[in-house]
Amino acid sequence: MTGIVALRYLLASGGFALATRRVRPGLYAGLDAQIRREIGWSLLSAAIYGIPAGIVAWGWQEHGWTRVYTGWSDYPLWYLPLSVFAYLFAHDTWFYWTHRWMHRPKPFRLAHAVHHASRPPTAWAAMSFHPIEALTGAFVIPALVFVVPIHFAMLGVVLMVMTVMGITNHMGWEMFPRRLVHSSVGNWLITASHHHRHHDEYRCNYGLYFRFWDRLCGTDRGLSEKAWANLPGRAA
Ligand SMILES: [Zn+2]
Ligand SMILES: [Zn+2]
């Protein structure tokens, strides 16, 4: 499972890094040493994420553990999108509060500083975490599958959203059209221009997928214009 997580990371981050070279040439210029560190930390995180995921996948196959189901009629159809939303919301909630905690001085120095060494972040920074931080995130989905029923394919959707948003939110440019990002739905979703501001200003925009907790707790400072710029530091 560690191999799968690592391969998924290398392929997906590599793909978006390649896209960045095409769409925003020069955006990662001078960041080679940082990117090497991001890849190193991310591969270490892959090893950590792979362990609980592997145990749960084995238990599901061999012993019928977990509430992952495969029959399309096991639950009503409306439950399919609802389960995806429930997983993302639960993950987002866990992430928001542990992330805020990690911005306290001691846990920041000990663990979270590794993630913030990405200034500006790149498509390779998606899993660039200190092992302590990787551990706080490694058990969320493996724990949820024991509690909240989900169709196998919808679990795939959750993992895909997790992978794609984790990478694109760090890649330094906004891939979604400005009209969508500023729409009433976009106002509640986190994309690159939101998370970029977190890497710039640290004490705001802590969320992962949704702006719900940031808005509720007054930590939402809005979007970064840099994500629309052609070069880091230059406003669009
Ligand atoms: Zn980040
Ligand atoms: Zn942070």
Point out the ligand nearest to the CA of residue 170.
1
Below-70 pLDDT ranges, the chain:
230-236
137 CA to centre of ligand 1 in angstroms: 13
How many angstroms separate the CA atoms of 96 and 166, rounded? Answer: 14
Q: 112 alpha carbon to ligand 2 midpoint, in Å?
A: 7
List Cα–Cα distances, 92 to 34, 43, 221, 235, in angstroms: 27, 23, 18, 29
| For the CA of 133, the nearest ligand | 2
Counting ligands in written order, the one closest to the CA of 202 is 2
Compute, in angstroms, the gap from residue 170 CA to the centroid of ligand 1.
6
| pTM, rounded to two decimals | 0.93
Ligand nearest the Cα of residue 112 is: 2
pLDDT at 230: 55
- CB contact set of 204 (below 8 Å; sequence gap of 6+): 197, 198, 214, 219, 220, 221
- Give 179 Cα–ligand 1 centroid separation in angstroms: 24
Q: Could you say which ligand is closest to the alpha carbon of residue 192?
A: 1
Please give the distance, rounded to the nearest whole angstrom, from the Cα atom of residue 74 to the centre of ligand 1.
Answer: 37
Q: What is the pLDDT of residues 35-84, one digit of tens each?
A: 999 999 999 999 999 999 999 999 999 999 999 999 999 999 999 999 99
How far does residue 73's CA lie from ligand 1's centre (Å)? 38
Q: How far is the CA of 201 from the centre of ligand 1 (A)?
A: 11
Q: How high is the pLDDT of residue 229?
A: 72
CA of 194 to the centre of ligand 2 (A): 12
Cα separation of 106 and 125, whole Å?
22
Of 210, 79, 102, the closest CA to residue 148 belongs to 79
User: How remote is the CA of residue 206 from the centroid of ligand 1, in Å?
Assistant: 9
Please give the distance, rounded to the nearest whole angstrom, from the Cα atom of residue 202 to the centre of ligand 2.
6
Q: Which ligand is nearest to the CA of 206?
A: 2
Q: Do 211 and 190 form a contact (C-beta atoms < 8 A)? A: yes
Q: Return the SS3 of 150.
A: strand
Expressed in angstroms and rounded, the spacing between residue 204 Cα and the centre of ligand 1 is 12
Cα(165) to ligand 2 centroid in Å equals 16
**Strand, helix or coil at 149?**
coil
DSSP string, 41-99: HHHHHHHHHHHHHHHHHHHHHHH--SSEE--TTSS-TTHHHHHHHHHHHHHHHHHHHHH
